Homo-oligomer: A and B are copies of this chain.
Amino acid sequence: MMKNFPLTPVEGGVCAPKGFSAAGVHCGIRRNHSKPDLAILKADVRCAGAACYTTNKVYGAPITVDREHLADGHAQAIVVNSGNANTCAPNGVQLAHDVCKLAAQALGVAESDVLPASTGVIGQAMSIEPFAAGIPDAAARLEASPAGSLAAATAIMTTDTHPKQAAVEFTLSGRTCRLGAIAKGSGMIHPNMATMLLFITTDASVAPDVLQTALSAVVPATFNQISVDGDTSTNDTVILLASGLAGNAPLQPDTEDYTIFLTALTQVAEQLCRELAGDGEGATKLLECTVTHAPSLQVARDVSKSVIHSTLFKAAMFGADANWGRVLCAIGYTPGDFPIDHVSVRLKSRAGEVFVCENAAYHPYSEEEAAKVLAEKEIDILVDMGCGDAEAKAWGCDLTYDYVKINGDYRT
């Protein structure tokens, strides 16, 4: 675990750091006029940029363009649409390029500094028309304010029930810095990199390679540890832009400042992980599984993810049923060779804690007490493996009737 540094939560999401403005509008990709479907995030200056993408072999056309445009480590704007994933769609890469061209014109930035992103249905043709009107509209509404970030966070939502933002303030080489983010999640969430779309800004001065190193260090412990439904999306994208406008000395690896930056990034990431998992499609409960005393970091991560990914355990949590045998079962089928004889399991929430399993066997507890604990909205599953000192967390949600309802007829 990282040291604690003074990190102050602040308002404003991606517009909290200096030099970023954002907007969200409805441009007609979705038929529903009350649902914004296009967001722009723009930086005042050319930023260092880093990204992580889905590991799915089927991936969205925007990711092809992002890889190309971020090859030089810099970017200045992000254009995101919801309602269509631009994946397995005809002429998808050309369309993503056309979107960048429109944004470059409207924003006065280089086309190769624009990063596109899309989320929505896979395999449907996307038209450039909505963008032709929507991009100038959004460009005219850009705001370097909490309202701008909120508008963008709202426009990237699909089945999310609320927009997701986070931001923190910290100090690097005596200068006040900020890091903020917006995210969308909800379904097709089992990132093998990161959840669907996540955009992070900072005004810290960080060179592209250091920025990528930091992002790549934080993603496996945070966004890769969420699962809503076990389906790794084709469009997962995390982009981190650093404007440098805070004026700190450029961040160097292996310094205390670097640790502070990693801590800030981790804190924002963990907050969004909890929000993304808790707002999983149909979810009524956030599940956080913490594994301690594991023989290795990999086992700790795999076991925690296995537990929050178990369909049977997720359904039991929906029913507030302390069926801990399903936790043991999920631990047991986690790949890898590790002992299970010393596993203990506790279920915890605001209402209390019940010790349900000791040494991989039943530990006496009150079903009444367990029902009280599991009636809460946020449930911690504490797994002590008793055979090492590695630890990890994973986040998920319960499996509900509404998940089935939402996904039984997603396209209509």
Chain A residues packing against B (C-beta within 8 Å): 55-59, 85, 87-90, 121-125, 187-188, 192, 229-234, 309-312, 315-316, 318-319, 321, 323-326, 328-334, 338, 340, 357, 360-362, 399-401, 403-412
Q: How far is the CA of A326 from the CA of B124 in the complex (A)?
A: 12
Cross-chain contact A58 with B360 (CB below 8 angstroms): yes
Residues of B within 8 A of A229 (CB): 311-312
Residues of B within 8 A of A338 (CB): 57
Residues of B within 8 A of A59 (CB): 332
Q: How far is the CA of A232 from the CA of B334 in the complex (A)?
A: 9
Given contact pairs A312-B187, A333-B56, A411 touches B321 in the complex (Cβ within 8 A): yes
* Chain A contact surface mostly: loop
Cross-chain contact B332 with A234 (CB below 8 angstroms): yes
- Select A121's contact among B57, B58, B125, B325, beta carbons within 8 Å: B325
Residues of B within 8 A of A87 (CB): 325
For this complex, 26 residue pairs linking A to B, each with C-beta atoms less than 8 Å apart, are A56-B333, A57-B333, A57-B340, A58-B328, A58-B340, A87-B325, A88-B328, A90-B361, A122-B323, A122-B328, A230-B309, A230-B311, A231-B311, A231-B326, A231-B329, A231-B333, A232-B329, A232-B333, A234-B328, A311-B311, A316-B407, A318-B404, A319-B408, A321-B412, A401-B404, A401-B405
Residues of B within 8 A of A409 (CB): 316, 319, 321
Which 6 residue pairs across A and B have the least CB separation, nearest first? A122-B325, A319-B408, A58-B332, A315-B407, A232-B333, A123-B325
Given contact pairs A324-B123, A340-B57, A410-B316, A230 touches B231 in the complex (Cβ within 8 A): no
Name A87's closest neighbour in chain B (CB-CB). Answer: B325
Cross-chain contact A89 with B362 (CB below 8 angstroms): yes
Q: How far is the CA of A89 from the CA of B411 in the complex (A)?
A: 46
Cross-chain contact A328 with B362 (CB below 8 angstroms): no
Name A58's closest neighbour in chain B (CB-CB). Answer: B332
CB distance from A356 to the nearest CB of B (A): 8
Q: How far is the CA of A331 from the CA of B326 in the complex (A)?
A: 28
Given contact pairs A310-B231, A333-B56, A404 touches B411 in the complex (Cβ within 8 A): no
Given contact pairs A57-B340, A312-B188, A399-B404, A411 touches B323 in the complex (Cβ within 8 A): yes
Given contact pairs A311-B311, A332-B56, A333-B57, A88 touches B360 in the complex (Cβ within 8 A): yes
Residues of B within 8 A of A328 (CB): 58, 88, 122-123, 234
Cross-chain contact A56 with B329 (CB below 8 angstroms): yes
Q: How far is the CA of A209 from the CA of B125 in the complex (A)?
A: 57
Residues of B within 8 A of A329 (CB): 56, 58, 122, 188, 231-234
Cross-chain contact B362 with A90 (CB below 8 angstroms): yes
Q: How far is the CA of A319 from the CA of B357 in the complex (A)?
A: 38
CB distance from A61 to the nearest CB of B (A): 11
Residues of B within 8 A of A88 (CB): 325, 328, 357, 360-362
CB distance from A186 to the nearest CB of B (A): 11
Known: A58-B360, A123-B361, A399-B404. 5 other contacts (CB 8 A): A55-B333, A56-B333, A124-B362, A192-B333, A401-B405
